[in-house]
């Protein structure tokens, strides 16, 4: 049985998914040339000059050597076929922001919301979700990426023992670079037709493990993604199970490490509200102009 923690009653606005806004939690994978906020990924030509290869767009991370069991992990590729989630009709005051879907019965405006009831994390591995068979312009199909920061815990025994049980993640030590690591990217590969990437290009950097804390529910965030975007959760990132919107199932190819030790592969917490409509709820029916405006605002921050 997963641990449970009390959930505050508030609504969560959705924001467009981009590499910049999602960077505290992992990486977004999409064609940089089609991104509204392109990043300078390291790139090289390939396939006799007929392709562009973008290098290290995301990281496949294995921290299982730090796991308590010491059981080795293997890279796994699974597929999840996810059906659209059921939404609830929430209400908020007319003219009020997306915070506060609960009103007093006066001038209430209905909004469709998704109730967040559970969060999970994979403490020793990154996890990449790649949608297949869905186009960017397919308006009938979208998915939500719901993530939360990890709370810091002090070394005080009283603080640790007074909170619901959370399974600890060992601290990651800085890894010393070998000569192979240093020189492996210094020249083109002799086995491909690639050219060396430009010196000023950037590469993805892995997110550090998040530590043993519970999710920070006061700073939970929700992003909306389309079929042209894949997402990588950094190791230990608290996130909701996949939330598909719209009318169609979405098949995701999921790439991660696993060692088949249940609490090392996946840890969960249930979010307990006080009533049927209490707790965290994501407002999912933003008008297109509202979402575009929010995206421009986030880009400026």
Residue 83: what are its φ and ψ, rounded to 5°? -85, 155
Asked if 122 and 209 count as a contact pair (C-beta separation under 8 A), the reply is no
Which residue is listed with tokens 């297949």? 132
List pLDDT tens digits, range 41-96: 788 899 998 999 988 888 899 999 988 899 999 999 999 999 999 998 886 534 44
Give the strand pairing for 108-115 and 230-233.
Answer: unpaired
What the block records as the tokens of 126 is 């990154």
Model pLDDT for residues 226-244, shown as the tens digit of each residue: 999 999 999 999 999 999 9
Higher pLDDT, 86 or 2: 86
Domain extent listing, the chain: 3-184+203-300
Residue 287 pLDDT > 70, yes or no?
no
Give residue 93's pLDDT: 39
Distance CA 2, CA 270 (A): 7
DSSP assignment, residue 296? Answer: H
In the sheet that holds 10-12, the strands lie side by side as: 10-12, 280-283, 108-115, 88-93
Tens-digit pLDDT profile for residues 177-230: 666 555 555 544 544 555 555 545 556 666 666 778 899 999 999 999 999 999
Q: What is the pLDDT of residue 201?
A: 54
d(CA 168, CA 157) in angstroms, rounded, equals 14
Tell me, what's the pLDDT at 181?
57
Assigned CATH class of 3-184+203-300: mainly beta
Whether residue 169 is predicted with pLDDT greater than 80 in this model: the reply is no
Confidence band (pLDDT; 50, 70, 90) for 141?
A: confident
Is residue 116 over pLDDT 90? Answer: yes
Residue 269 sits at φ, ψ, to 5 deg, of -130, 140
At residue 121, the pLDDT reads 95
* Selection from 253, 199, 226, 195 nearest residue 51 by Cα: 195
- Residue 153 above 50 pLDDT? yes
């Amino acid at each position: 049985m997963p641990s449970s923690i009390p959930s505050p009653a508030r609504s969560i606005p959705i924001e467009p998914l981009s590499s910049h806004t999602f960077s505290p939690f992992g990486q977004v994978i999409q064609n940089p040339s089609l991104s509204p906020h392109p990043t300078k990924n390291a790139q090289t030509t390939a396939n006799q000059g007929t392709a562009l290869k973008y290098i290290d767009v995301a990281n496949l991370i294995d921290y299982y050597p730090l796991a308590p069991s010491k059981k080795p992990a293997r890279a796994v590729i699974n597929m999840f076929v996810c059906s659209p989630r059921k939404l609830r009709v929430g209400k908020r005051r007319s003219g009020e922001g997306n915070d506060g879907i609960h009103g007093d019965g006066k001038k209430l405006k209905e909004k469709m919301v998704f109730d967040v009831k559970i969060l999970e994390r994979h403490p020793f591995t990154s996890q990449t979700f790649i949608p297949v068979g869905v186009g960017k312009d397919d308006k009938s199909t979208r998915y939500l990426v719901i993530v939360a920061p990890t709370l810091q815990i002090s070394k005080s025994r009283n603080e640790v023992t007074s909170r619901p049980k959370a399974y600890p993640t060992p601290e990651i030590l800085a890894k010393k670079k070998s000569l192979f690591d240093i020189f492996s990217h210094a020249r083109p590969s002799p086995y491909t037709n690639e050219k060396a990437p430009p010196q000023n290009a950037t590469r993805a950097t892995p997110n550090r493990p998040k530590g043993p804390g519970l999710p920070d529910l006061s700073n939970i965030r929700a992003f909306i993604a389309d079929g042209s975007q894949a997402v990588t959760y950094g190791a230990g990132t608290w996130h909701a199970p996949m939330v598909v919107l719209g009318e169609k199932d979405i098949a995701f190819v999921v790439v991660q490490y696993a060692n088949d030790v249940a609490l090392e592969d996946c840890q969960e917490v249930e979010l307990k509200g006080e009533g049927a409509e209490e707790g965290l709820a994501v407002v999912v029916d933003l008008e297109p102009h509202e979402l575009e405006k929010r995206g421009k605002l986030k880009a400026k921050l």
